[in-house]
């Protein structure tokens, strides 16, 4: 069992990957110096469990199309200007975190337990 939601995201293929190339450059005056450009986002990690990723992405698609608190949260992401595919991945990550929480505590899903704070986007 993954210990944290960060581990679960990596296992499920929902972790965001950043790469940097040419982190250092030659400067004529000072020699080698570090570039100021931040690492660039390169998508989701490639080494993952395909079945688990498919489960969370399918659940996110289903939650986005059916009425309920997760659908309302998804629509809120879209109204704030997030692209549809990014909002769906964000919803899949939220479902993964919710699943891990319920799994660790041995509880059942109860939509009334979802608070406004838990449903707000970061």
Alpha helix positions (H), 17-107? 50-65, 69-79, 84-105
Output 75 or 1, whichever has higher pLDDT.
75
121/16 Cα distance (integer angstroms): 16
Q: Which tens digit of pLDDT belongs to each residue from 82-117?
A: 999 999 999 999 999 999 999 999 988 888 777 655
Q: Which tens digit of pLDDT belongs to each residue from 3-33?
A: 888 889 999 999 888 877 777 888 888 788 8
Confidence class for position 66, pLDDT limits 50, 70, 90: very high
pLDDT for res 19: 75
What six digits make up the tokens of 68?
């309920």
């Amino acid at each position: 069992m993954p210990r944290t939601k960060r581990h679960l995201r990596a296992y499920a293929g929902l972790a965001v990957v950043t790469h940097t190339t040419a982190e250092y450059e030659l400067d004529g005056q000072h020699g080698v110096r570090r570039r100021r450009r931040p690492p660039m986002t390169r998508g989701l990690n490639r080494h993952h469990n395909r079945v688990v990723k498919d489960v969370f992405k399918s659940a996110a698609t289903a939650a986005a199309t059916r009425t309920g608190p997760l659908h309302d949260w998804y629509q809120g992401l879209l109204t704030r200007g997030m692209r549809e595919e990014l909002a769906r991945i964000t919803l899949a990550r939220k479902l993964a975190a919710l699943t891990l929480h319920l799994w660790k505590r041995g509880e059942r899903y109860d939509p009334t337990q979802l608070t406004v704070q838990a449903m707000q986007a970061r």
